[in-house]
Chains A and B, each alone.
Chain A
Amino acid sequence: MTAYLLKRLIIAAITLVLASMVVFAVMEILPGDPARLMLGFNASADQVELLRNQMGLNAPLALRYLHWAGGLLSLDFGRSYTYSVPVIDLVRERVVVSLPLTLIALALSTVIAIPVGVFSASQQGRAGDALAMGAAQLGVAVPNFWFALMLIYLFAVWLRLVPAGGFPGWSAGTWPAVKSLLLPAVALALPQAAILARVARSALIEVLNEDYIRTARAKGLPYRAVLWRHALRNAMIPVLTILGLQFAFLLAGTIIIENVFYLPGLGRLVFQAINQRDLIVVESVVMLLVAAVIAVNLLVDLSYAVIDPRLRGRQ
């Protein structure tokens, strides 16, 4: 178990270092000068140069990479070019929107997908299965921003149950804040739930054809008990793998959804920072997201061992 954990940790560390190089390189290759963007059409070339110097953009590339990467190690994420405040402050303000949003969406997608998958698998080939999988197919096909707009018109404009967008801040109270995250969470969750339900269904069908299921049935266990206790547990590994990957998709999805709902989250921050060529913000926030995705997948790897006792002994 320790060796397994150690191996996973080393792989995670190497991935982080490689990711930092790729992220930095991509942002540097991207054409565009943050100083020119700030000063606009009318500023002279000298003035742009002056601002570039003030922002520290004229230092050599390797030096800037080392400075930035070294800062990350000591949890110093640098200062935003455009906002001229520490990046960590920006992240702190934004993460309280994006993290709850992602977690609610993840929870929703699991709560919807698993029962639907189990239902479909148990009804395999019958009308209920066809209906559920048809709905899932639709969920996969519909783009989440369009779905988001339909939700807004229904629940915000017509029924007036929730605001059409925006975020009042947690200081406005828990319920108003959660309320403004509900529609975006649903819009984010449904396409993911659809994928997850399909995976759960096929994993379960495969397990249901195993010999030990027949044995369990033969010794007199009720179908329901076999399905939920024996079959589902064994079908969990592919489901968990997809769930871990979906965390990354959800984070990426927040870029679009936070724009449609004008939520001040990390996705919006990255989107804005890319447009303004606030390189340091993009680089640092993307690295944080990479770290989050790696951490979640590490957790998923570890949870395999919890679900499948055979993995605990293995290297």
Chain B
Amino acid sequence: MAKTRLAGTILFILALAIFLFSMENVSAADVNNGFSYIFGKIQDAQLQPVEGVEVSLVSGVDSNLETLSSALTQANGSYAIEVPPLVPKQARLNFSRHHFQQKIDSIPPDDLTQLQLGNSVSFPLVTLEREITPAFWIAALIFVIVLVLIATGFLHNTLAAFTGASALLAISYLGSPFFPDLYIFDFPQAITYIDWNVIYLIMGMMMVIAVVENTGIFHWLSYHAYRISGGKMIILLPVLMLITGISSAFLDNVTTMLLMTPITVQIALALNISPLIFLIPEVFASNVIGVSTLIGTPTNILIGSFGNITFNDFLTNLTPGVFLAFLGLVIYSWFTYRKELTEKKPGSPLLLEKLEERGKITNPENLKKAGWIGAGMMLLFIFGEKVNLLPSVTALIGASALLIWIRPDIDEMIGAVDWTTLVFFMSLFIVVGAIQEVGLISAIATMIGELIGQNLVLAMIVVTWFSAILSMVIANIPFTAAMLPVIAYLTLIIPGAESKVLFYCLSIGAAMGGNGSLIGASANMITAGIAERAGYKITYKYFLKKGFPALVITVSLALLWLFIRF
């Protein structure tokens, strides 16, 4: 039964992807050249193309318009409307779409003459203004409720986002027949907001991680960190931080901390010190170095996919800044725990022996294969952009190759995919899509745009710190998803921002901001959860005391790098 359900879920996702792909191709079909057409483009106040605008060629007075022909705008905002052989002199173009003010424009006399002669014409660019309807407030309210439910933990993240998406669709379908202003979007429109590149990338990486995490590599690395340091905690601390950080750059932070925390507790117990001395800097390092690659954090995956930023772009533009921030973090951690790190306490011979016993690779064969596949994936991530290879495709190729080579229990592997997280992302995309659809994101973008003006330096500071501070208190994934269109708008209007530097600012702020508070990142909560199971409670106050200075140091250093780089 469970197998059937899983297979059904996968089939459903594949079918949906194929359907969406074919829809895009149909909509891009060539225009028949036997007729005359009016071509044009529509954008919103943020200069973004508007899809789904009904463009009608109409005649008659405003109260009694007769539609002669109509067409819908495509994803790039363009339209091509077929013109009947006899065009009335008073013909006009009517632009209408939910959540935008209706606009009726006259056709310039010269264009009208051309149309009457059977020639096609290009209509000037049209900018539509937003219309605030009750749907605007409902979508905004549901988004805020979802954020609060996630932040307070009142509902599971996925359940909160899923309920939010369902509520939005329920209101659109059940409310709008009675009150048309309650319409937000329909189902086909809602699912266009799901970024399948993100979903498949996360899914592929989860399968690869599932193989790697069962090889004992983390135990081996941690034990050797202890050996290299010779038991000197002042050396052991940065080595453990580096192992955690580098792992976070390729695995997600939560998985890294799930694996590293129990091992770190064991090392600390063997050395007879509090595990928090290592755990807190480790989770900071995870949140900081995770930003260095496209696949290191879900927020980077979102940013990369939306902003069309490649794996190489992250490596060249962000990684050096991240390592500068890491250096600052190591110095800060040494300073913060200087007393504990220099204290001389005898370790436990029994536990150290046990640590050595466990510090072995448990599945060398799988690790070797995963290593080869991992190296191949890195090459594809780095060089794949030359052939427009999407990261999601690389992740899927890597996952399939690994599964075919290793031949694990396929049910176990499919079970290793965190479907809950994938449903969370899909639902979240719909919830964020709703506030985008009704114009809330546009309103925020306009407001921030007016506040910042055309000053790139100010924009970089505001975006970075605004993201960092907000990520301390709200979940950074929905926050990032909501901020992306805002950043895209700022990138368009601010001179110099076309380098996409503001996307990097968002990346730094959203991920490193998680260090500011215990609830700032899922990895923090996981670390605290495991540490508590070992009898070491990480309180909100303790984390804030250690984390906020870490946030200030790392974000400042990473931002400094961006100033130098751009």
Query: Do A and B originate from a single complex?
Result: no
B-side residues, CB < 8 A to A, are none
